[in-house]
């Protein structure tokens, strides 16, 4: 039997993902604190690796991972060719447009605005296709809330979970773009070649939600 390989996004979602595996009887042998990247379950012929979230869709598209566990934000941003098969129901948050209160009026007046974000594709889709509005998009890699505070951008497109980062920095939500959560994605060929094993995992994960 060949190995079935899982790519798991490092960071916020990883712990919960490995808890899910455990709940459906899959021992990942992952050592949370180690620097090791690949873990194997020889009995079940499974491999698990941790990757940067934004790289998970790439590993799955190329088929080096049959299955990926990653946030919907990353899936939407990366636009890879893969199947999204399951909403895992955790890591719930939303993608929003936010800014300083003083920008709310100019924002709604459709002025040409500067948008800072870690998600340029999502921002482009939202403004150009969704709202038919031309904007300048500035790509950043983190601490996005800083941009409007220091005058780099007028608004941000970013994730809000508890809302405390916005609140602590005096920012408010202007618009809600979409809801997000952790998802299971599958390589297109793997879904055909390993249909029984993958369907089994999907069914087991689904039973967790119906309990
Ligand atoms: C994310 C996001 C917000 C924050 C939202 O950043 O970009 O900054 O979390 O969470 P909250 O609504 O619960 O405050 P993350 O911590 O992942 O790191 P980053 O700022 O480096 O992108």
Ligand 1, atom 7, lies closest to the CA of: 159
Band (pLDDT 50/70/90 cuts) for residue 130 is: very high
* Listed range (27-36, 95-104, 197-206) with the worst mean pLDDT: 27-36
Q: From the CA of 93, give the closest atom in ligand 1.
A: 12
Q: What CATH number does domain 93-180 carry, 3.40.50.300, 3.40.140.80, 3.40.50.970, 3.40.190.10?
A: 3.40.190.10
Q: Per CATH, the architecture of 4-91+181-210 is what?
A: 3-Layer(aba) Sandwich (3.40)
Alpha carbons within 13 angstroms on the beta-carbon side of residue 144 total: 26
* Distance of alpha carbon 17 from alpha carbon 35, whole angstroms: 18
* Distance of alpha carbon 149 from alpha carbon 201, whole angstroms: 45
Over residues 177-188, the mean pLDDT reads 98
- Domains of the chain, by residue range, sit at 4-91+181-210, 93-180
* Distance of alpha carbon 3 from alpha carbon 184, whole angstroms: 18
Which residues 6+ apart lie within 8 Å of 192 measured at CB? none
Q: Do domains 4-91+181-210 and 93-180 have the same CATH topology?
A: yes
Q: Which residues line ligand 1 (CB under 6 A)?
A: 118, 142-145, 158-165
Q: Is the pLDDT of residue 36 over 90?
A: no
Q: Which of 14, 74, 159 to mutate to test the pocket of ligand 1 (most atoms within 8 A of CB)?
A: 159
Q: How far is CA 12 from CA 24, 51, 139, in A?
A: 20, 12, 22
Mind listing the pLDDT tens digit for each residue in 137-174?
Answer: 999 999 999 999 999 999 999 999 999 999 999 999 99
Instruction: Give the full edge-to-edge strand order of the sheet including 182-186.
Output: 38-41, 46-51, 4-9, 67-71, 182-186, 83-87
């Amino acid at each position: 039997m060949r190995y079935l390989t899982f790519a798991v996004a490092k960071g916020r979602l990883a712990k919960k993902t490995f808890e899910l595996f455990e709940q459906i009887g899959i021992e990942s042998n992952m050592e949370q604190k180690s620097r090791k990247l690949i873990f194997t379950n020889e009995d079940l012929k499974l491999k698990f690796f941790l990757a940067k979230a934004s790289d998970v869709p790439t590993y799955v598209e190329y088929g080096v991972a049959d299955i990926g566990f990653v946030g919907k934000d990353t899936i939407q941003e990366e636009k890879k060719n893969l199947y999204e098969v399951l909403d895992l129901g955790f890591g719930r948050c939303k993608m929003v447009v936010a800014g300083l209160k003083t920008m709310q009026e100019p924002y709604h007046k459709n002025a040409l605005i500067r948008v800072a974000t870690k998600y340029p594709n999502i921002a482009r889709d939202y403004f150009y296709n969704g709202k038919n509005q031309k904007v300048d998009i500035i790509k950043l890699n983190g601490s996005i809330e800083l941009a409007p505070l220091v005058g780099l951008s007028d608004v941000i497109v970013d994730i809000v979970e508890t809302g405390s980062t916005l609140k602590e920095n005096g920012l408010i939500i202007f618009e809600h773009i979409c809801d997000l959560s952790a998802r299971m994605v599958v390589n297109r060929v793997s879904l055909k070649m390993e249909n029984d094993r993958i369907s089994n995992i999907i069914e087991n994960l689904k039973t967790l939600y119906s309990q």
